[in-house]
Amino acid sequence: KYKLFIFDMDGVITETSEQHYQAWKKLAKEINIEIDRKFNEKLKGVSRMESLERILKNAHRENDFTDEEKLEFATRKNDNYREMILKCTEDDLFEGVKDLFIELKKRDIKIAIGSASKNAPTLVDLLGIKDYIDYIVNPAEVKRGKPAPDIFLNAAEKLGVDISECVGIEDAEAGIEAIKSAGMFAVGIGDSTVLNQADIVYKHTKDIDLEELMN
């Protein structure tokens, strides 16, 4: 019944949500702000500039910096993040991802990447999964980021698949919200108490049960 699976990347295909967290933590520290993992849940799936805004706002520092300074912070975070991910190889794919891709292709189901990250194409290359991916959403091309549905709708539209035939897979609260407001079936990866809006939640990507989803 499903013809397109739209995967989030960070935290679903590979553990780069950890590197995003470490890079933000470092940047925040440099401007005397502390962030923790619980707050970080609110950054998952959220664009670079919006993440920075949330960090500043949470520390009541949103009016302390000029736009240029904010841009410099975001660039610094990204440079640091890119340095961390450039070491990624096929070995950094989460367990089960490649088998899942192979199984989806066998069933003639399309695969898209619906990440808010502008680094998604780089990671797809480094992780060696390019051949399985039919389309990577360019977040710069869509109007609104997650939790708006735009990223997921863009993938369905570009691949010409009906919304009712799409599945979205996400580890972020904002991402699940985006899938649901796109009107798609939402698979959560992680903690079911955090991702309580999802239609189904698996602890890890390798736990995804295609038989269960397709029936």
Chain-centre distance for alpha carbon 78: 16
Could you say which residues in the range 171-200 bind Mg ion, by CB under 5 A? 171-172
Residue type, 95: E
Pick one of Mg ion, ligand G6P, none as the site partner of residue 154 (Cβ within 5 to 8 A by kind).
none
Place of tokens 């998952």: 44
Does the annotation place 51 within a ligand binding site?
A: yes
Pick one of ligand G6P, Mg ion, none as the site partner of residue 78 (Cβ within 5 to 8 A by kind).
ligand G6P
In the bound complex, what is the minimum distance in angstroms from residue 67's beta carbon to Mg ion? Answer: 27
Active site annotation includes 8: yes
Structure tokens at 17: 């949500």
Does the annotation place 180 within a ligand binding site?
A: no
Could you give the CA distance from residue 122 to residue 140 in angstroms, rounded to a whole number?
15
Could you give the CA distance from residue 5 to residue 169 in angstroms, rounded to a whole number?
7
In the bound complex, what is the minimum distance in angstroms from residue 45's beta carbon to Mg ion? Answer: 5
Would you say 31 or 74 has its CB closer to ligand G6P?
74
One residue of 8, 41, 150, 177 binding Mg ion per CB under 5 A: 8
Which residues, at least 6 apart from 141, have a Cβ–Cβ distance to it below 8 Å? 154
Structure tokens at 72: 């410099």
Interface residues with ligand G6P (CB under 6 A) are 10, 17, 20, 43-48, 51, 78, 115-119, 172
Active site annotation includes 162: no
Contact, 175 vs 161, CB < 8 A?
no
Catalytic residue numbers read: 8, 10
Residues at the binding site for Mg(2+) are: 8, 10, 170-171
